A and B are shown apart, each in its own frame.
Chain A
């Protein structure tokens, strides 16, 4: 399977993606931001379509859209209690825009499928490099803000007492999330980002009780999912995203069952 260049590329890219998804996912879960992650992925879809329309690489369109909107969403959610409704409205608008850009660009519908569901065939060396750089950036920022982000994510009330800069921190985190969403979409597509960013972390909290432990487990589960997905996709010729989604769901249900049986 590694004799094919695109498989090698997909393997390296998905390894990076699994690592940052697992790590960011732990914070997404602690901050109750699964819903928002989903919205960002829909915005990412619009961005990718816009990229196609402008004849840019889809990842660039995605980055621009998700970064801008994360800052705007940050403003909204810092203030509003009616955040879910506002966010749903925004995501419908962006899905609509995505469809519009795609139809204006006159590209075949397989393009839409690739953006929505991911594609490993198209991953070039250059994509891999871009994914690697963006992942390194995300990891570096996490490293720098780690202690404060951890405090704010796992005990917002306590962190606020310290009077630090929790609003700034939320925005920094949203930008990191936007970056991760855009990067992860390269493999699983924008519809299934959810799968990598939320499920492994949701499992992890049943098995580990420290932030680093949860990160480790989430990264391992994400890696098993993408590697398994690539291998199964390669042997069966079925879509890789299908296998990734199924594996992560399987892990999740096992974790739930484990938790259930241990609570007695």
Chain B
């Protein structure tokens, strides 16, 4: 029996000067972990931005189940340049995502939400530190915490492990996996790292020049991305 949270049907996306991909079909089961792999510039980020409705597709459909309004996104974008002087503490950075037409100060319940996610992501001890001074791994965890603080149904990670060393990578994904399993979160994880994808994902989507492959992770060809892995 299938219970998808997201269905992509016959999706094509183009920029004025180029078509990025054509006729894409896949779905994401609720509570599953989908790895999206493919070379640099193949269109992974573009696909994520289309799913997040920041870009309009050329044709095709993206549908959420039961409907768009019931699916809340958490997104950790590929690039985010926060310099050393970035002033906010990790805690305040994470709280930013509690936005909307609300009173300026956080409610009791919102304080608890922030506390809980900081605890889950292991940031409680350093919550008062300025984010600008944090290490790469701590920053990634803070981005993750920010994306999760409003308890999304669908979490999208765009190369969140790219700048991390081997230990950190596994730590971060263990964390995501744990939250995925505890809360029935659905995850899309964009990466170049095939072994990593193999270890954590349920399904894969491999984008290639002009075509794509979609299936259970066991079927992901190992050799395809070897070169991309070493750049």
Contacts from A to B (Cβ < 8 Å): 30, 143-144, 146-148, 150-151, 154-155, 157-164, 205-206, 208-212, 214
Number of A-B contacts defined by CB within 8 Å: 67
Interface flag for B41 (CB, 8 Å): no
Closest A residue, CB atoms, query B130: A209
Q: How far is the CB of B211 from chain A (nearest CB, A)?
A: 29
Q: Judging by beta carbons under 8 Å apart, are A151 and B87 in contact? A: no
Q: Judging by beta carbons under 8 Å apart, are A154 and B88 in contact? A: yes
Complex CA gap A160/B98 in Å reads: 14
Complex CA gap A158/B105 in Å reads: 19
Q: Identify the interface centre among B73, B87, B128, B146: most chain A CB within 10 Å of its CB.
A: B87
Q: How far is the CB of A63 from chain B (nearest CB, A)?
A: 26
Interface range on chain B: under 10, 10 to 19, 20 to 34, or 35 or more?
Answer: 20 to 34
Q: How far is the CB of B174 from chain A (nearest CB, A)?
A: 24
Q: How far is the CB of B138 from chain A (nearest CB, A)?
A: 15
Residues on A with beta carbons closer than 8 Å to the beta carbon of B80: 155, 157-158
One digit per residue, 1 when the CB lies within 8 angstroms of any chain A CB and 0 when it does not, for chain B 155-191 equals 0000000000000000000000000000000000000
Closest A residue, CB atoms, query B53: A163
Closest B residue, CB atoms, query A207: B87
Complex CA gap A157/B85 in Å reads: 17
Q: Which of B56-64, B89-97, B117-125, B213-221 contacts A (4 or more CB under 8 A)?
A: B89-97
Q: Judging by beta carbons under 8 Å apart, are B96 and A150 in contact? A: yes
Q: Identify the interface centre among B85, B99, B105, B146: most chain A CB within 10 Å of its CB.
A: B99
Interface flag for B109 (CB, 8 Å): no
Residues on A with beta carbons closer than 8 Å to the beta carbon of B79: 157
Which of A159, A210, A211, A212 makes the CB contact (< 8 A) with B99?
A: A159
Residues facing A in B102-133 (CB within 8 A) are 102, 104-105, 128-130
Q: How far is the CB of A252 from chain B (nearest CB, A)?
A: 14
A146-B104, A147-B104, A209-B130 given; A164·B99 CB < 8 A: yes
Contacts from B to A (Cβ < 8 Å): 52-54, 73, 75, 77, 79-80, 85, 87-89, 92-93, 96-102, 104-105, 128-130, 146
Instruction: Rank and list the top 9 A-B pairs by shortest CB-CB distance, nearest first.
Output: A205-B87, A209-B89, A146-B104, A151-B99, A161-B75, A147-B99, A151-B96, A210-B92, A157-B80
Q: Judging by beta carbons under 8 Å apart, are A210 and B73 in contact? A: no
Residues on B with beta carbons closer than 8 Å to the beta carbon of A143: 104
Q: How far is the CB of B98 from chain A (nearest CB, A)?
A: 7
Can you name 19 extra interface pairs (CB under 8 A) apart from A147-B98, A148-B100, A212-B104? A30-B87, A144-B101, A146-B104, A147-B100, A147-B101, A151-B96, A151-B99, A154-B88, A154-B93, A154-B96, A155-B93, A158-B77, A158-B80, A158-B96, A163-B52, A163-B54, A209-B88, A209-B89, A214-B87
Residues on B with beta carbons closer than 8 Å to the beta carbon of A212: 104-105
Q: Judging by beta carbons under 8 Å apart, are A209 and B128 in contact? A: yes
Complex CA gap A144/B101 in Å reads: 7
Q: Judging by beta carbons under 8 Å apart, are A158 and B97 in contact? A: yes
Q: How far is the CB of A1 from chain B (nearest CB, A)?
A: 36
Residues on B with beta carbons closer than 8 Å to the beta carbon of A205: 85, 87
Closest B residue, CB atoms, query A210: B92
Complex CA gap A154/B54 in Å reads: 20
Complex CA gap A162/B97 in Å reads: 9
Q: Judging by beta carbons under 8 Å apart, are B102 and A147 in contact? A: yes
Complex CA gap A159/B75 in Å reads: 10
Complex CA gap A83/B226 in Å reads: 42
Q: Can you give 6 contacting A-B residue pairs, CB < 8 Å? A: A30-B87, A161-B73, A163-B52, A211-B92, A212-B104, A214-B87
Q: Judging by beta carbons under 8 Å apart, are A210 and B88 in contact? A: yes
Q: How far is the CB of B136 from chain A (nearest CB, A)?
A: 16
Residues on A with beta carbons closer than 8 Å to the beta carbon of B130: 209
Which of B52, B104, B129 makes the CB contact (< 8 A) with A161?
A: B52
Residues on B with beta carbons closer than 8 Å to the beta carbon of A208: 87
Q: Judging by beta carbons under 8 Å apart, are B75 and A148 in contact? A: no
Q: Identify the interface centre among B98, B104, B105: most chain A CB within 10 Å of its CB.
A: B104
Residues on A with beta carbons closer than 8 Å to the beta carbon of B104: 143, 146-147, 212
Residues on A with beta carbons closer than 8 Å to the beta carbon of B75: 161
Q: How far is the CB of A167 from chain B (nearest CB, A)?
A: 13
Complex CA gap A206/B85 in Å reads: 8
Complex CA gap A235/B73 in Å reads: 60
Residues on B with beta carbons closer than 8 Å to the beta carbon of A146: 104
Residues on A with beta carbons closer than 8 Å to the beta carbon of B52: 161, 163
